[in-house]
Structure 1
Amino acid sequence: MRGVPQQGIRSAFREWRAVRPFWGGLLLALGGAEILLTEKVSLKVVMHIGMQGLAGYLLPAVMVLCGLLTLFSPGQRLFYSILGVLASLGTWVTSNLGGFFVGLLLGLVGSCLAFGWLPDQEPRRGRRQRRADRKKEREARAAADPAPAARP
C-alpha cells in the first residue's frame, strides 16, 4: 500500500485486536477449518466413524462461523463460544475424531478463551504492589496532617 505508513496499520490492528477475544475466535475458526480439510484427505487415512453425511461438514462449518462471528461481533461472544464448544465436541463423532484431535482441541481451547475473555478490565495488582500503595497513602496522610499538639 502506497502512502500508508506501516506503523499506522500495525497500531490500528493492535487496537482492533485489543477490544475483542482475538485468539479465541482465531483458534475456533482454525479448528473448524482443520476439520474441514481432514474431510478431504485420502480414503486410506480417513476413519469412517459415525455419520459421514451432512453433519460431518455442517459442524466444522458452524465452528468456522462461530470463530468469525466472535471476532467481528464480540458482544455475543458467550453464545458463540458455547455453540463452538458444542460443535467441537460433536465433531468427535461426525468428522474423523474431530479432525484427528487437532481441530477438536483447537476448537475447545478457542471457545474457552472466547468465553473467558473480559473487556475493559483493570490489570490485577499483586500483594506487594497493594502493600506499597497503602504505605504511600499512609506516608502522604502523615505528611499532610500536622503533628498533634502536646497536651499540658
Structure 2
Amino acid sequence: MVAFRRWRAARPFWGGLLLTLGGAEILATQKASLKVVMHIGMQGLAGYLLPALMLVCGLLILFNPAQRLFYSILGAMLSLGTWLTSNLGGFFIGLLLGVVGSCLTFGWLPDQEPRPRRARPWRRRSQEPVHHP
C-alpha cells in the first residue's frame, strides 16, 4: 500500500485516471443501442478513434508523467472533439471527465511541497483564557 501511495504521489494520478475513464465511457456509449444513440457522428471511425486516443493519453499520463503537458493538451482537444463525433461526448459525462482530467494534469506540479493544513477557526481552542474588559 505504501509503495502504491509513493507511486501515485509521483505523477498526476487523478488527472490521468479521469481522462482514461472519460475515454472508456465514451467508447462504451458507442456500443449503445440505436434507440439511445443521439447521433452517430461523422465518418464513424472518428467516433471510435478520438475516445481511444483519450484512453491512451490517460494511460500515458499515468505511466510517463514527464510528458504530461503534451498529453493533457492533446487529451483536452480530443475530449472536446468527441462533442461532434461521439454521441455528444458520451452524453456529456465522458466529455466532462476528459476535460477535468486534462486540466488536473496540466496544473499538476511534480516537485511542489504539500500545502500545510489550515487550522479551522471554529475548531481552534485557545490555550490562554480570554479576558474581556
TM range (shorter): 0.7 to 0.9
**C-alpha contact (below 8 Å) 1:28/1:84 kept by paired residues:** yes
1:30 and 2:13 are equivalent in the alignment: no
Q: Structure 1 vs Structure 2: percent identity of aligned residues?
A: 80
Show the 5 A alignment for 1:85-96: 85-96=76-87
Show the 5 A alignment for 1:50-65: 50-65=41-56
- Matched pairs, number: 119
1:20 and 2:26 are equivalent in the alignment: no
| Aligned with 2:102 (options 102, 111, 120) | 111
Show the 5 A alignment for 1:2-151: 10-48=1-39, 50-124=41-115
Look at both structures and tell me which one has the larger radius of gyration over its CA atoms.
1
Q: Distance in 2 between matches of 1:43 and 1:127?
A: 52
RMSD: 1.7
In structure 1, stretches of 5+ residues that fail to align are 1-9, 129-152
In structure 2, stretches of 5+ residues that fail to align are 120-133
Per the alignment, do residues 76 and 100 of structure 1 end up closer, same or farther by CA in structure 2, a change over 3 Å counting? same
CA shift at 1:109, angstroms? 0.4
Deviates more, 1:64-73 or 1:115-124: 115-124
CA shift at 1:48, angstroms? 1.4
Q: Distance in 2 between matches of 1:119 and 1:105?
A: 24
Question: What is the TM-score of this pair, normalised by structure 1?
Answer: 0.74
CA shift at 1:125, angstroms? 5.5
Per the alignment, do residues 127 and 45 of structure 1 end up closer, same or farther by CA in structure 2, a change over 3 Å counting? closer
Per the alignment, do residues 41 and 19 of structure 1 end up closer, same or farther by CA in structure 2, a change over 3 Å counting? same
**C-alpha contact (below 8 Å) 1:31/1:102 kept by paired residues:** yes
Q: Which runs of 4+ in 1 moved over 6 A?
A: none
Larger RCO (CA within 8 A; separation ≥ 6): 2
CA shift at 1:123, angstroms? 3.3
Q: Distance in 1 between matches of 2:37 and 2:116?
A: 50
Question: What is the TM-score of this pair, normalised by structure 2?
Answer: 0.85
